[in-house]
Structure formats: C-alpha cells, structure tokens
Amino acid sequence: MNLFLLPLVSFLVYLAPPDKNVHRIHQRVLTLDTHADAPIMMQKAGFDVGQRHNTKGSGSQIDFPRMKEGNMDAMFFAVYTSQGPRTPEGHAEAKRNALNQFDLIHQALKKYPNLAELATTPEDAYRIEKAGKRAVFIGMENGYPVGQDLSLLKTYYDLGCRYMTLTHFANNLIGDSSTDPDGPMYGGLSEFGKKVVPEMNRLGILIDVSHVADSTFYDVLELSKAPVIASHSNSRALCDFPRNMTDEMIKAIAAKGGVVQVNFVSDYLKKPSEAHRAAKTKIRMARVGKVVTPEMEARMTALSDSVAKAYASERASLADIVDHIDHIVKLVGIDHVGIGSDFDGGGGVNGLEDVSQIENLTAELVRRNYSETDIAKIWGGNLLRVLGQAKVR
C-alpha cells in the first residue's frame, strides 16, 4: 500500500459503521475513567455539565449527555489546583478553590439527579450503572490544597475525594514533583508528606503517584500499606518524559497490587519534537508559583490552542494509547492497567476527541485480540478492585 494513504485509511476506519460485536462488548463492560478535568470547564461562566456541548465550539470534552452517548459509565472528576506560592496565603486560596470545585460537582449532581450520581465505592459504580445513570467519583489533582493541615484530608474525604495526586508540575509541601523547574526540595517526600501517606491509607484515599518525582514515588511505595495508582500516566519506555512511569516503576506498582491508568495526552504518548515540547513546557510552567487569574488562564488557553494548531501533525492517535496498554500488559499482566483520559485537561487524540467516542478505544482493544474479560478489567475492573483496598483497617 502507498504509505501516503495510511492516514486516510485510518481516518476512514473511524468513520466506518460500528462493529456489532464491539458495541455489545462496550455496552456490557463497566467503563471507568480515573482522570477527567471536567471541573475546569464547570468553573467557566455559562458552562452546564448537564447540557450537551460541542468540542470544537466550547473546547469541552465531557458532559453528562456525551458520557451517555459514549456509554462512559463512571468518571473521576478531578478537583485540580495549579501549584501556586507555598505560603499561608497561597494555601488558603488553594483550599478555597478546591472547596469551590467540590461544591460545583455536588451542585451539578443535585441539579441532574436523573443523569448522574456521586459514587464513593466500587459498589456505587455498579449500582449507578445498573440504574442507567453516570457515576461521578471525585479525585484531587495536586495536594497543594492540603497545605500543612493534615485534618483537611478528612474534610476532602467527607466531600467525596477518593484519590489524591500528591503533586502536580511543581513541588509542594508534601513532596517533590517530576517536573519542578527548580529541581527537588526534599529528595522525595517531605517530613509532612511522610505523615500524609499513612493518613490517606487510614481514611481510604488512594495515593496517586502521577506527576511525582521518581524519589517521591519510591518513598510512597515504601510507606503505603495500600496499593497505589498512577491515575493518568504512560510508559516512559515508549515516550521518554519524566511524568511517565519507567518499567521498574510499573513493576513496583503491580507488585504492590496497584494499577497504571493510561492517559490520552499526546506529549506522554509519543515523543514530540524538541520545539513542540519546549513550547508546551513554557506554557505549563507559566502557572507555577503564581496565583492564576482568569486573564492569565485565558492567555494560556489561547497559547495552548495556537501551539496545538502549529504542531497538529505530531498529535498522537488511538493506536498510540493501546501501544502503551500493550506494553504495560506485557510487562506486568492484565490486572494492572486502566484508563485515565485527562479529557478537558489536554487529553484527546486522533480517533478519540471526546467522551462520546470512547467506544473507539474498545474497538481497538478488540482488534488487538483482547477478550471481553480483559477489556472489562482495563476499562474499570482493575481500578475498582484497588479502590476497594484503599482503606487500611
């Protein structure tokens, strides 16, 4: 075949009528995504998660109607705070921001009880799916809103938080990030972070090692008495980026009974050009250590859109996602991999633009000869097993 025709052939495959067997499998399995940044859109004036939106028009990739269209049964909505100043004022603002996002999620569920419901346990997910509604779990991306107040973990747990990503793009008071521009502060977890881990075990909040430095990762693995997750990370062997997991890290997560949830961000699926990576890094780091104003966020969004258009040819594909799944399965088996899309937070590839299209991923898994049992584990079974083991009794 002419190599220049391959992209066209791939595109036409996604336009083809859905395979009936794929559709049946997709309907039968419980689909769960551990990392959805819907609250980013929910904070925008006029955005209603209970109404259907168009990705090109609004920039959003998630709402309850599109979740239903794609048969996405459950998602963890991530309460995300960018890393601002490590000061009392910065921590107070991060706490305010986080509490506001929790409230937005709860208000949306109260407004649309016929469409979606809060889930906090594996049993909730199956019950809500059986009722024909969407199950909304809550995770926290970045421990920044905890500050130095350990009691806030209980506050967030009571509001529904069932996992917390310890750091984001920069260090916080819990530990070192994989991408802080100034390098490590502690050489892993801080002394405070070493108290956070057992408290999360006690409460039943899953510890999420996405974004953390390798040294932080190994400190967590040593301290945690419960399995840990990487809620939205890929394989560093396939895409060399410090945010991704090395083969040794993936093996360590599996040995502890945890799971790596593959995400849909092109940067973490296939290595971009140096110019592309530099442009994206500059945008990410512009927020670090600052209180992000709406005006700054608008500028960053516009820049991100511009960079995405300039480097559109480097965008990853649906096949790249499953390449990472294949790699993890070959490395540690089918019981330690899942899905954490990062929709509304940079996720989205050719062939999988928003939550309404997730059956395309099931189709690619079927094409690569994964059984329905395997697909059920990847799409949610593995993560729900680990969630059931989060609380150390």
DSSP 203-251: HTPEEE-TTB-HHHHHHHHHH-SS--EETT--BTTTS--TTSBPHHHHH
Residue corresponding to tokens 């993890």: 328
Average pLDDT for the chain: 91
Q: What is the pLDDT of residue 199?
A: 98
pTM of the predicted model over 0.85:
yes
> pLDDT above 90 covers what percent of the chain?
83
For residue 84, the model assigns a pLDDT of: 95
Give the residues across from 229 on adjacent strands.
208, 259
Q: How confident is the model at residue 57 (pLDDT cuts 50, 70, 90)?
A: confident
pLDDT at position 1 is 41
All domains of the chain, ordered by start, with CATH? 20-270+316-387 (3.20.20.140), 275-315 (no CATH)
> Which among 359, 329, 344, 356 is positioned nearest to 265, based on CA atoms?
344
Q: How far apart are CA 195 and CA 180, in angstroms?
A: 22
Q: Kindly report, residue by residue over 147-186, the tens digit of the pLDDT.
A: 999 999 999 999 999 999 999 999 999 999 999 999 999 9
Q: Which among 238, 277, 265, 276 is positioned nearest to 349, based on CA atoms?
A: 265
The CA distance from 4 to 258, in Å, is 41
Looking at residue 280, its pLDDT comes to 60
User: Could you read off the pLDDT of 100-141 as tens digits, one per residue?
Assistant: 999 999 999 999 999 999 999 999 999 999 999 999 999 999
Of 86-90, 274-278, 342-346, the poorest mean pLDDT is in 274-278
